[in-house]
A = this chain, B = another copy of it.
Amino acid sequence: MSAAWLDAIRWTADGLVPVIAQQAESGKVLMFAWMSREALALTVQEGYAVYWSRSRNKLWRKGEQSGHRQKILEIWFDCDEDVLLIKIEQQGGIACHTGRESCFYRKLVNTEWQIMAPVLKDPKIIYKKHE
């Protein structure tokens, strides 16, 4: 896909850009992931977040297994042209693979990472029903 808005992005040496996913309505930061050029183009085309999985080394349509898709409302770009912020609607209210609303569920309290948010749905149930 050839497009000036994609060319404007300063991709990493691996051809990726970091992406912050924020729940549009609440303002909660739900997750952080990476997109390739193709992933970003597909995200815009399909209207739902498509990431690049660095662990699996392939396109990752968020929610393809869990159903927890992220509907794209807005895409923002930073001053250095190397980070994206997407404002989304989180389907199912769960972004994290642990079954929590947000991936940021641990808080530093007196030099310890304390778990502050409950598991809303058992990951075994989230991922099993789509096998």
Residues of A participating in the B interface, judged by any CB pair closer than 8 Å: 3-5, 8, 18, 20, 22, 26-29, 31-32, 44, 74-80, 83, 85, 96-98, 100, 103-108, 111-113
Provide the residues of chain B in CB contact with A112, threshold 8 Å: 4-5
CB of A37, distance to nearest CB on chain B (Å) = 14
Q: Is the CB of B8 within 8 A of A20?
A: no
Provide the residues of chain B in CB contact with A96, threshold 8 Å: 79
Provide the residues of chain B in CB contact with A22, threshold 8 Å: 29
Provide the residues of chain B in CB contact with A100, threshold 8 Å: 79
Provide the residues of chain B in CB contact with A85, threshold 8 Å: 29, 104
Q: Is the CB of B108 within 8 A of A77?
A: yes
Provide the residues of chain B in CB contact with A20, threshold 8 Å: 20, 29, 32
Ordered by A's residue number, 17 sampled pairs between the chains whose C-beta atoms are within 8 Å are A5-B108, A5-B112, A18-B32, A20-B29, A44-B108, A75-B107, A75-B108, A76-B104, A76-B105, A76-B106, A76-B108, A77-B107, A77-B108, A78-B106, A79-B100, A83-B103, A85-B104
Q: Which residue of B lies closest to A96 (CB)?
A: B79
